[in-house]
């Protein structure tokens, strides 16, 4: 971009979400504010004998509500979720490209931390039990992590920038942030951006249980299992689903009379450069990421009212994130409202950034902050205001969303209220 060209402003005009708490943004938000819990015993997958047998499972999901039956059979569950959330987001935005010029300026960036885990599992079983001829010719496109972006683009005629990001649990936030850069750079007018994940499988649980990363003390009481920042937390709970935003340049949104939720003003991406799975105990990578995001948004720490935390309910993540927040925000850290949506949805891995961005956006939009449920026993190392168990009514000028991933990846986003926001 030319140094004298004003930076293109980017706004949010559509929200699409599917989780165990609801299959659209209004039902998801209503559930979050009410402190409803979407975590239950897993039914779709046989986890008998596994150390963890619970999850934020989407019950009764029918992909043919969102795509043709033949296409549903040729795609993995994670792509089904991406299509559902993408369709919902576009319908919410009211945008549909009318010609090739508009299609060429419309892109899709929907990432996944793992991709087609269920496909890998089922096709491996076919190979080992029946030989190579039993493997589906659709196996490769079903399992690769970029295919959700491709399938969604084909469905809606998006001919602009299109690829997949894979950065574990930071994927969704990276996808949204990179879409912000695409729009600022003038390479598109509209982006469909977010993350999707479907890792509630035997293989997924076997791997994470072997790492001792999952909650194992609440199989008989699933609703109490995900407890971010609580002293009795013992691991994360798997969730599944997708969160997708429609992002547009402000100019494009105003030209078509779109309803505007808020503005996306800041993005940061860093690496801990410390360990493949454990966060840096000093939190230096996340601190740097938050600082860079605030600088990109041209905001001071005191301008942030709410943080939707990564808050996984693991012993190390929660205290490290708390440490980083205090490092960046200083005394203002104790004025911030901080909550973790994962206490109700479970951890959606690569989709977490998408659905948690939506929570931050709707906090700005509604002037309400969702709680962190199951917060019962304070942890001396987690001593900030985590909005325990009950929502708070409070105007939110700007909200920060944090996401961290295996590999040391950090991604942060800042959304803020804007004068151009329009009523429903």
Task: Identify the residue whose tokens are 């200083």.
Answer: 330
Active site residue 347: yes
Taking a C-beta distance cutoff of 8 angstroms, is the pair 399, 297 a contact?
no
Report phi then psi at 353, rounded to 5: -60, -35
Check: CB of residue 152 under 8 Å from CB of residue 158: yes
80, 174, 252, 310: which is the annotated catalytic residue? Answer: 310
For 117, 202, 419, the CA distances from 128, given in Å and listed in that order, are 17, 16, 59
Closest of 44, 195, 23, 69 to residue 122, by C-alpha: 44
**Residues 6 or more apart whose Cβ sits within 8 Å of residue 282:** 323
Q: Is 126:142 a contact under the CB 8 Å cutoff? A: no
Active-site residue flag, 169: yes
For residue 165, report the phi and psi dihedrals to the nearest 5 degrees.
Answer: -110, 140
Distance CA 285, CA 372 (A): 24
Active-site residue (options: 52, 80, 169, 412): 169
Backbone angles phi, psi at 45, to 5 degrees: -125, 140
> What DSSP string describes 220-251?
TSGGGS--TTBTT---B-BB-EEEEEEEEEHH
Is there a contact between 399 and 304 (Cβ–Cβ < 8 Å)?
Answer: yes
> Dihedral through CA 320, CA 377, CA 19, CA 181, nearest 10?
-30
The phi, psi pair for 287, rounded to 5°, reads -60, -45
Helix, strand, coil fractions of the chain, as percent rounded to 5: 40, 20, 40
Residue 405 CA to its chain's centroid (Å)? 12
Q: Cα Rg for the chain, rounded, in angstroms? A: 20
- Burial zone of 201 (CB within 10 Å; 0-12 exposed, 13-18 middle, 19+ buried): buried
Stretch (H or E) spanning 41: strand 40-41
Name the 3-class secondary structure at 32: helix
Q: Provide the token pair at 325.
A: 């927040």
| Active-site residue identified among 252, 347, 409, 412 | 347
In angstroms, rounded to a whole number, what is the distance separating the alpha carbons of residues 382 and 393? 23
- Give me the active site residues, please: 169, 310, 347
């Amino acid at each position: 971009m030319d140094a004298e060209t004003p930076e293109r402003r980017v706004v949010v005009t559509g929200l699409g979400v599917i989780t165990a708490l609801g299959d659209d943004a209004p039902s998801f938000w209503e559930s979050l504010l009410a402190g409803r819990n979407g975590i239950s015993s897993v039914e779709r997958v046989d986890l008998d004998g596994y150390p963890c047998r619970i999850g934020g499972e989407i019950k009764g999901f029918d992909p043919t509500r969102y795509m043709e039956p033949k296409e549903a059979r040729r795609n993995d569950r994670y792509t089904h979720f991406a299509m559902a959330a993408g369709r919902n987001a576009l319908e919410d935005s009211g945008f549909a490209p009318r010609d090739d010029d508009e299609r060429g300026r419309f892109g899709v960036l929907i990432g996944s931390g793992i991709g087609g885990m269920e496909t890998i599992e089922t096709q491996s079983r076919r190979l080992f039990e029946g030989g190579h001829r039993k493997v589906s010719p659709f196996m490769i496109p079903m399992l690769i992590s970029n295919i959700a972006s491709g399938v969604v683009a084909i469905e809606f005629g998006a001919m602009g920038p299109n690829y997949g990001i894979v950065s574990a649990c930071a994927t969704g936030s990276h996808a949204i942030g990179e879409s912000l850069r695409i729009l600022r750079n003038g390479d598109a007018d509209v982006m469909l951006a977010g993350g999707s994940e479907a890792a509630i499988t035997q293989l997924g649980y076997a791997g994470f249980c072997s790492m001792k990363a999952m909650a194992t003390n609440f199989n008989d009481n699933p609703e109490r299992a995900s407890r971010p920042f609580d002293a009795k937390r013992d691991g994360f709970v798997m969730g599944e689903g997708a969160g997708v935003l429609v992002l547009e340049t402000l100019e494009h949104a105003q030209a078509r009379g779109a309803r505007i939720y808020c503005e996306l003003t800041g993005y940061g991406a860093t690496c801990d450069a410390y360990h493949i799975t454990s966060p840096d105990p000093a939190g230096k990578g996340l601190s740097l990421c938050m600082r860079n995001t605030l600088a990109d948004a041209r905001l001071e720490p005191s301008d942030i009212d709410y943080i939707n935390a990564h808050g996984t309910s693991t012993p190390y993540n929660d205290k490290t994130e708390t440490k980083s927040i205090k490092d960046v925000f200083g005394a203002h850290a104790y004025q911030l409202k901080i909550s973790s949506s994962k206490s109700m949805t479970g951890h959606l891995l690569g989709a977490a950034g998408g659905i948690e961005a939506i929570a931050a956006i709707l906090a700005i939009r509604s002037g309400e902050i969702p709680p962190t449920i199951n917060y019962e026993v304070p942890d001396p190392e987690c001593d900030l205001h985590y909005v325990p168990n009950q929502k708070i009514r409070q105007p939110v000028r700007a909200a920060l969303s944090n996401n961290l991933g295996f590999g040391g990846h950090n991604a942060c986003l800042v959304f803020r209220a804007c004068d151009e926001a329009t009523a429903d």
